[in-house]
Chains A and B, each alone.
Chain A
Amino acid sequence: MLLTLLKPSSPQADALSQISLLVLLIAILIFAVVAALVTWATFKYRERPGRTAPQSTGNNKIEVLWTIPPVIILVVVFFFTVKTMHAVDPPSGDTNADIIITGHQWWWEVKYPASGVITANEIHIPVGKRMLVRLESADVIHDFWVPQLARKIDAIPGRSNYLYLEADSPGSYRGVCAEYCGTQHAGMRILVIAQAPAEFTKWETAQVAPPSPASDPLAALGAKIFEDKTCYFCHTVAGTGSTETIGPDLTYVATRQTLGAGVLKNSSKNLAAWLKNPQLFKPGSHMPDFQLSEHEVQALVSYLESLP
C-alpha cells in the first residue's frame, strides 16, 4: 500500500528503479570525493603563521585528466538511459489501448473500450497482463503517476500519450496527479487495483450489467431528485439518458473504495456527508453545495447504492 518507488511492483517500475539505484550510487560516490577533498583542504590548508601559499595558476594536463572520469560515467549512464527507455515505453504506433484514462479537474475518468466499462479514479487491472493505457485530458494538463507500477506521464488536452500499466502481484497501488492543475490538484488521487485475472473478469462483467431499476420507494425518490436537482447535467447514470462527463460516472459509485477522487473513504455515511456539502471535503471542487435536505440526501444515497 505504500506510495513509493522504493518497492517497484511491475517490470517497468523495476527497470526505472534499477537505473535510479545505479545513478544514486554514482552520485553518492562523487559527492563523497568532493566533500572529502573540500574537508581535507579546509583542515590542511587553514591559515597558519609563517606559511606562504605557492602561487600556482593551473596545469593543463591535470585539467584534461580530471575531465576523463566524468565523461566515462556519463557515457555509461547514457547507455543505461537509452536501454531503460526502450524497456519501459510502448513502441510508437501501438495505439490499440486497453484502457483510456482522461484527466479532469479534479478526477480521473477510466474507460475500457473492449468491454465498455466506464469508471472513475479506480483502475482495475488483471495481474501479470501488460495493459496499454491511452492518456488524455478534458481540460488542463494533468500527470498520471503511480510510482510502484509505471512511469509518470502528462495528460495534455489535444494530445494522446501512451504508457504500460502492469502489476506483478494483486493489491492496491496508490498514485496522484503530479502536474499542478489548479485548486484541487492535491485532491486528485489514483487507486490501481490489481486482481487475479478471474476476479478482474468478474468485476468487468458486473460493471457493465445494466443497473437495477429503483424498486424501494426511497431509492425511487432519489432517482427523481437526481433529475430534479440537475445532477445529470454533470454526471452520467447508465440507463437514464444522461451522458455528461463533467463529473464522474455514478452508475457503480457504490462499488468504489473512495469518493471525491480519493479524499474520502466510500461508505453510506461519507456519501451522505459528501452530498450534503462537497465543498467541506474538497474546497474549490466543481461540485457545488446543493443545500440538500437530510431526507433528500438519504434518498440520493439510497438511489446511488441501489444501482449495482
Chain B
Amino acid sequence: MNEAVLVPEVNESLPSIRSNEGMLAWVASVDHKQIGILYLLTALLFFLVGGLEALLIRIQLFFPNSAFLSPEMFNQIFTMHGTTMIFLVLMPMLFGLATYVVPLMIGARDMAFPRLNAFSFWIFCFGAFMLNFSFVSGGSIGNGAPDAGWFAYAPLTEVPFNIDPGMDYWALGILGLGVSTLTSSLNLIVTILKYRVPGMTMTRLPLFVWMVLITAFLAVFALPSLNASAILLLFDRKLHTMFFLPQLGGDPVLWQHYFWFFGHPEVYILILPAFGVISEVIPTFSRKPIYGYEFVAGSAVAIAFLAFGVWIHHMFTVGLGQGIYFVFAATSMLIAIPTGIKIFNWIATMWQGNIRFTTSMMFATAFIIEFTVGGLSGVAFATIPIDWQLTDSYFVVAHLHYVLFGGTVFALFAAIFYWFPKITGKKLNERLGKWQFWLTVIGFNLTFLIQHFLGIIGMPRRVYTYPDEPLWTPLNQVSSIGAFLLGIMVLMFLVNLIYSLKRGEIAGDNPWDGSSLEWATSSPPPPENFTKVPPIKSRRPLWDINHG
C-alpha cells in the first residue's frame, strides 16, 4: 500500500464508543457504524417479535376449527406480523447494513449528514414504538392493535368499521417509519454521489453500493405516496374527511392505488439490496470478479424504472377494465427479464470459479434457487388469469415468502455471516452456521413450499381458522412444523451471535480475501474508518494489491 491516498484531516472528533464508553455514547452517536449497529440490533429484536407472531399464527392453524386464538386476536397478530417483518425487520436490516457498509466501501469517513443519520434511526424507533404501543392502548375488542392487514385496505380501516385506536397508531407509526426511510435514503444518495474516495468512479462502485443507490432513489419516489396515504387515513379517521369512504364521493380503490404505488416499489426496495449482497458474496467466495458488472447494475436500473409501472398488478381483481390490465400484465412480465439477467450472471460468476462454501456462500447459493421460485410464481401472478384464481389465496402467501424470506432473509444471513467479522472483529462460528443453514433450508421449504398447494386447493389467506376440507389439515400441520424448525434456527443463530462475540475466531482485516475497500481497514474499523485508503485502479482495489 505504498501509493496511499490520504483521507482529509479531521478537525473535530465525532462521538463514538471509542471516545465515550457507555450507553450514552450510543444514544448520542452520529457515527455511521454505531447507528448501523443500532439499526441491526433493533431489527433483530423485532425479528424475534415478528417471528413469535408467525409462530402464534402457525399454532392457531395447526388444527381446523381451532380456538387457540380468538378471531380478533388472530387478525391483530397477522397484521402486526406483516407490518413488523416488512417495516421493522427487513427495512432496518437493509438500511442498517447500508449505513454501516456503504461509507466503508466507498472510502468515506462517514455519511454525508451524520446528524440526519441519527435522526433517521430515532424517528424509526418512534414509529416502531407507536406501532407496538397499540397492543396496550386498549380497544373495545381484544387489545387494540391494528387489525386490517399490512396493506390496510379501506374502508375496513375507517371509523365505521374499525373504531379502535389501533389504526391510528398504525398510521402514525407508518408515518414515522416512512419519514425515516426517506431521510435515510436522501443521506445515502448524497453520500454515494459526493463522498467517494478519488478514483472510485461510478463504474468502479461495488455492486452493493450500486444497489443501495438505486434502492434509495426508489424509496425517495415511492415513500411519499405511503406517507401521504397515512396522513389521509388519519384525516378520514380524526377529521371525518371521506377520502376513502364511498358514501360522499370518496373511493376505497384510491387507497389501493396510493398504497401499491408505494407497495410495489417497496418490494424492490427490499430485494435490490439483497441482490447487492449476493453480488458481493458470490464473487468473493468464487474468487472471481462479478460476471457482467454492467448488466447486473444496468438491469437493476431497469427494474427501478419498471417498478413504478406495475403497481396495478396488485389490483387485478378490482375490476378496472381489460385495457389497463393488458398494459400492467405486460410491464409486470417485463420485470422477469432484468431479474433473469441477474440470476444468469450470478451463476456465470460461480462458473469455473474456485468456490469456498462458507456459511455466507451457502446462503447466497441457496438464495439463487429459492428466489427463482419466488420470481417464477411472480410471473404466474403477472399472468392475469392465474392471478384471478390464486391471488389472496395461500399461493400468494407462499409467493411473497419465497421473495422476502427465500430472497431477502437468505441474503441477509449471507450478509451477516460475511460482514460480522468486519463489524465485530470476530468470525461467526461456521459449524453452528452450517447447521443453521440446513435448518433454514429445510424449515423454510417445509413451511412455504406446501402453501403453494394449499392455495391451489382453495385455502384463502388471512383466515383465523378453516373447516376440515380434504388435505387442508395435514398440509397446514406440515407448514406449522416447518415454522417451528425456523424458530429453532433463529435460536441457534442467537446462540452463534453471542458465542462468537465472546469466543469467536479473531477475523483480521480481510478474512474472506474480499476485494472491496471495507476489507482494507481494521476489524472493527477505527472511528475515522481509514488511516490510509489504498489506490483505486479497478473495481477490485484489494484484489489488485493482494493478487496483482
Contacts and interface: CB of A to CB of B under 8 A. Distances in A.
Interface of A: 2-6, 15-17, 19-20, 23-24, 27, 30-31, 34-35, 37-38, 41-42, 45-48, 51-59, 62-63, 66-67, 70-71, 74, 77-78, 80-82, 84-86, 88-89, 92, 105, 139-141, 143, 145, 147, 151-154, 156-159, 161-162, 174, 176-186, 262, 283-284
Interface string B68-81: 00111001000000
A180 B462 contact: yes
B373 A55 contact: no
Contacts of B379: 23, 27, 74, 77
Given A47-B355, A186-B465, A161 B385 contact: no
A156 B463 contact: no
Interface in B44-98: 70-72, 75
Contact of A45 (B291, B351, B457): B351
A81 B384 contact: yes
Contacts of B267: none
A46 B355 contact: yes
Given A42-B355, A45-B350, A186-B71, A88 B457 contact: no
A177 B463 CA distance: 10
Contacts of A23: 379-380, 383, 386
Given A46-B357, A88-B388, A63 B295 contact: yes
Nearest to A285: B71
A84 B325 CA distance: 13
A66 B376 contact: no
A182 B463 CA distance: 10
Contacts of A31: 372-373, 376
A161 B319 contact: yes
Given A19-B383, A74-B333, A186-B464, A67 B341 contact: yes
A140 B155 contact: yes
B447 interface: no
Nearest to A71: B337
Contacts of B353: 41, 45, 53
B317 A54 contact: no
Contacts of A92: 321-322
Interface centre among B340, B351, B385, B463 (most CB of A within 10 A): B385
Nearest to B455: A5
A262 B465 CA distance: 13
B385 A283 contact: no
A158 B295 contact: no
B460 A78 contact: no
Given A23-B383, A47-B354, A140 B161 contact: yes
18 contacts: A2-B457, A20-B386, A31-B373, A34-B372, A35-B372, A41-B347, A42-B350, A45-B352, A55-B289, A77-B333, A81-B384, A140-B155, A140-B156, A145-B458, A156-B253, A159-B253, A178-B392, A179-B153
B456 A85 contact: no
Contacts of B322: 85-86, 89, 92
A85 B317 CA distance: 12
A70 B458 CA distance: 30
Nearest to A2: B470
Interface of B: 70-72, 75, 141, 148-149, 153, 155-156, 160-161, 246, 251-253, 286-295, 317-319, 321-322, 325-326, 329-330, 333-334, 336-337, 340-341, 343-345, 347-348, 350-357, 365, 368-369, 372-373, 376-377, 379-380, 383-386, 388-393, 456-458, 460-467, 469-470
Given A55-B288, A105-B161, 12 more contacts: A2-B457, A45-B351, A45-B352, A45-B354, A54-B352, A58-B348, A71-B337, A81-B384, A151-B388, A177-B460, A183-B141, A284-B70
A145 to B, nearest CB: 7
A48 B329 CA distance: 46
Q: Which of B72, B148, B386 has the most CB of A within 10 A?
A: B386
A72 B85 CA distance: 36
A74 B344 CA distance: 17
Nearest to B339: A70
B354 A88 contact: no
A245 to B, nearest CB: 16
Contacts of A66: 340-341, 344
A166 to B, nearest CB: 15
A57 B289 contact: yes
Given A67-B341, A85-B385, A141-B153, A185 B463 contact: yes
A56 B288 contact: yes
A5 B291 contact: no
B376 A27 contact: yes
A164 to B, nearest CB: 12
A42 to B, nearest CB: 6
A78 B329 contact: yes
A41 B461 CA distance: 37
Contact of A53 (B287, B463, B466): B287
A71 B336 CA distance: 9
B251 A158 contact: yes
A162 B321 CA distance: 11
A34 B156 contact: no
A154 B319 contact: yes
Nearest to A140: B156
Nearest to A183: B71
A63 B338 CA distance: 11
B333 A78 contact: yes
B288 A5 contact: no
Contacts of B386: 16, 19-20, 23
B317 A34 contact: no
A139 B295 contact: no
B402 to A, nearest CB: 11
Contacts of B333: 74, 77-78
Nearest to A75: B333
Contacts of B337: 67, 70-71, 74
Interface centre among B71, B153, B458, B463 (most CB of A within 10 A): B458
A51 to B, nearest CB: 5
A208 to B, nearest CB: 30
Contacts of A145: 392-393, 458, 460
B292 A63 contact: yes
Contacts of A30: 372, 376
Contacts of B325: 85
B369 A151 contact: no
A70 B382 CA distance: 14
A23 B369 CA distance: 18
B368 A34 contact: yes
Contacts of B345: 58, 63
B334 A74 contact: yes
Contacts of A184: 71
Contacts of B467: 262
B540 to A, nearest CB: 9
Contacts of A174: 458
